[in-house]
Amino acid sequence: MATRNVAVIVGSLRKGSYNRMMAHALAALAPPSLKLEIVEIGALPLYNQDDDTGDTAAPTAWTAFRERIRPVDAVLFVTPEYNRSVPAALKNAIDVGSRPYGKSVWDGKPAAIVSVSPGAIGAFGANHHLRQSLVFLNMPPLQQPEAYIGGAANLFDAEGKLANPGTADFLKKFMEAFAAWIDKVLG
C-alpha cells in the first residue's frame, strides 16, 4: 500500500484545545500507510483578495501555507464548532488555500472531518458547514463513518492523551476507512 501524506488542519488555536489533542490521537491511531502532520493556520493573515491580485506580493505566510498543502495527498480537518459553524481561523485557512483563482491547493484532494466539542452533539453544525465548502473546493469527503465527537472534556487524561477505549476503537476504524477512501479517490 502506498504511503499517503495527510495534512491535518486543526480548527482551534487554543493552547489546551481538545481538537489538537484529538489530532494527535488520530495520528497515533492511523494505519501505517498514512503519514499525518499538523499544518498550522494560526499565523495566516486574514484573507484579502487585494493581496492576491494587486501589485504587492502575497503575504509570505500565505505562500508558505499554500506550498505546504499543495504536495500532500489528502487533508484531515479536526475542528470545533463556533456558533454552529467552523471557527473563523479555519475558514480563513480554507480561503487562503483556495486562491489565487484557478490555483487552489485543495483541488481534488480527498478529505475527512472529525468534529469535536464538549457539547452533546459533537459539533455537527461545523462538520456539515465544512462539507458545504468542500463541495466547491472539489475535495471529496469521506462520508462514512461520520465522526461527531461530543463530551470532549471527559475523553482525555491529564497529559492530553485519549483515554476512552470505545472512542479510540471507533477512531481507529475511522482512520482505516479514510485510508481506503484516499486509495479509492487517488487510485
Ligand X SMILES: Cc1cc2nc3c(=O)[nH]c(=O)nc-3n(C[C@H](O)[C@H](O)[C@H](O)COP(=O)(O)O)c2cc1C
Binding site for ligand X (CB under 6 A): 12, 14, 17-19, 80-84, 117-119, 123
Nearer to ligand X, 86 or 137 (CB): 86
Burial class of residue 149 (count of CB atoms within 10 Å of its CB; 0-12, 13-18, 19+): buried
Nearer to ligand X, 19 or 98 (CB): 19
The DSSP code for 114 is E
145 upstream amide cis, omega within 30 of 0: yes
Q: How near is the Cβ of 60 to ligand X at its closest, in Å?
A: 27
Q: How many CB atoms lie within 10 A of CB 26?
A: 24
CA distance 137 to 129: 13
Q: How near is the Cβ of 55 to ligand X at its closest, in Å?
A: 36
Nearer to ligand X, 104 or 117 (CB): 117
Strands (E), the chain: 4-10, 34-38, 74-79, 111-116, 147-149
Nearer to ligand X, 18 or 65 (CB): 18
Question: Which residue in the block uniquely carries the three cell numbers 468534529?
Answer: 115
Q: How near is the Cβ of 3 to ligand X at its closest, in Å?
A: 28
Q: How near is the Cβ of 115 to ligand X at its closest, in Å?
A: 9
* Non-local CB neighbours of 187 within 8 Å, separated by 6+ positions: none
Nearer to ligand X, 84 or 184 (CB): 84
Q: How near is the Cβ of 18 to ligand X at its closest, in Å?
A: 4
